[in-house]
Structure 1
Amino acid sequence: MNTSWRARWQEGRIGFHLQHPHPALTRYWPELNVAPDTKVLVPLCGKSLDMRWLADVGHPVLGIELAPEAIDQFLAEREVAVARYTQAGFEVSRQGSVELWCGDFFHLHIQQAAEIGAFYDRASLIALPPATRERYAFHLAQLVPPAAKGLLVSLEHVDNGAGPPYSVPAIEIERLFAANFQVTLLERGEPDERGCRESVWTLERRGPRQ
């Protein structure tokens, strides 16, 4: 998966990238009532403008991305100073209130995520093959504290098309996350011209007795 993901960025095959914040983020994030100073984790963040939007509404952002090309492109979009340093095997670039950690999401430890209080996944779960998704859901649950809220944007291929981005049906989202999160479906869209139908979910980390 690592090699294919890097190849997509190196070859410019990033049709998943949007030139604007995702409409589901701007529509539903305010409903989560996440405090403005809460740090938001964005796994497999690419160069998503969703991180700019989150920062602009007051959130520190911690994005994790495997491809340095994506990070470099994100940083180049604004003429703002960048601080760079190394943190436990990650190459970190900080621009304003956005931190981009270059490395493997699965190598991020709970100690490094101590300040995380919310999360946003628009292109992470759907970038992972089936065998990796359960590991992802479990790792995310370990990184965020009880009561942490997140927004998940998933998709389904109505014509059984291949990925990535992969098709993740509603029943799989329930299976992956329900043990550790309260899972709520907010919206299921209509199929687009590619035969993909997005769905939007809120996830709230359960406490130890829930």
Structure 2
Amino acid sequence: MSNEWLDRWREGRIGFHRDEVHAALARHWPNLGVAPGSKVLVPLCGKSLDMRWLAQRGHPVLGIELAGEAIEQFLAEGEGEISRYHGDSFDISRQGNVELWRGDFFHLHIEAAAEVGAFYDRAALIALPEATRQRYAFHLAQLIPPGSRGLLIALTRAPGDEGGPPFSVDAEEIRTLFAANFELVHLEEGEPESGSGFRESVWALTRRGPRT
């Protein structure tokens, strides 16, 4: 998966990237009850404009991305001074309220995510093959403190279309992956996108466990 992901960025095959903020984020985030100023973890973030939307609403953003091309494009397309440093096996870049860590999401330790209070997944889970999605869900649960909330946007493909990435992840699998550690609320199911047959589903997740 990692080699294919890097190849896509090197070759500019990034049809999954949106040139606008995701409508479901703008529609549902304000109703999640995320505490003002909470740091938002964005796994496999690419150069998503959704991170700037979150930052503009007062949320520090911690984006994790393996492809250096994605990070450099995000920074080049933004405004403001860029600072760079290295820590915890990641190359880290910061611009404004967005901090981008270049490296493997599965190498992110809980200490590095100590200030995280929310998360947003638009294209992380669906970028991973089935064998890796259980590992992803467990690792995400380790990083997110009890009571914290997030938004997950998944998709399903048309019947008979088993390609990917992005991979098809249906409601049953989402519940199987996350229900042990998160309370789930299915917020909406989109219409099939013309040309692709993709259908998006939007979920609100709250990390189980006592609040600290």
- The TM tier, using the shorter chain, reads over 0.9
SS in 1 for 2:166: coil
SS in 2 for 1:34: coil
CA shift, 1:159, in A, is 2.8
SS in 1 for 2:155: strand
Residue 147 of structure 2 contacts residue 210 of structure 2 at CA under 8 Å; is this kept in 1? no
1:22-61 map, 5 Å: 22-61=22-61
Partner of 2:96: 96
CA shift, 1:208, in A, is 5.5
Moved more, 199-208 or 46-55: 199-208
Letter in 2 for 1:202: A
**Structure 2: where are the runs of 5+ without partners?**
none
Residue 44 of structure 2 contacts residue 65 of structure 2 at CA under 8 Å; is this kept in 1? yes
Q: Deviations over 1:102-139 (max 9, x none)?
A: 00000000000000000000000000000000000000
Matched residues in 1 for 2:4 and 2:182: separation? Answer: 30
CA shift, 1:79, in A, is 3.4
CA shift, 1:34, in A, is 1.1
Matched residues in 1 for 2:160 and 2:118: separation? Answer: 32
Matched residues in 2 for 1:36 and 1:80: separation? Answer: 23
Partner of 2:169: 168
1:11-160 map, 5 Å: 11-160=11-160
Provide TM-score, normalisation by structure 1: 0.98
Letter in 2 for 1:198: E
Q: Deviations over 1:80-122 (max 9, x none)?
A: 1100000111000000010000000000000000000000000
Partner of 1:187: 188
Partner of 1:200: 202
Q: Percent identity?
A: 67
Q: What's the Cα RMSD here?
A: 1.0
SS in 2 for 1:62: strand
Matched residues in 2 for 1:157 and 1:127: separation? Answer: 13
Matched residues in 2 for 1:29 and 1:192: separation? Answer: 22
Structure 1: 4+ residue segments shifted above 2 A = none
SS in 2 for 1:79: coil
Matched residues in 2 for 1:160 and 1:58: separation? Answer: 43
Matched residues in 1 for 2:131 and 2:111: separation? Answer: 26
Counting matched residue pairs gives 209
Matched residues in 2 for 1:148 and 1:78: separation? Answer: 28
Matched residues in 2 for 1:11 and 1:154: separation? Answer: 25
**Structure 1: where are the runs of 5+ without partners?**
none
Provide TM-score, normalisation by structure 2: 0.97
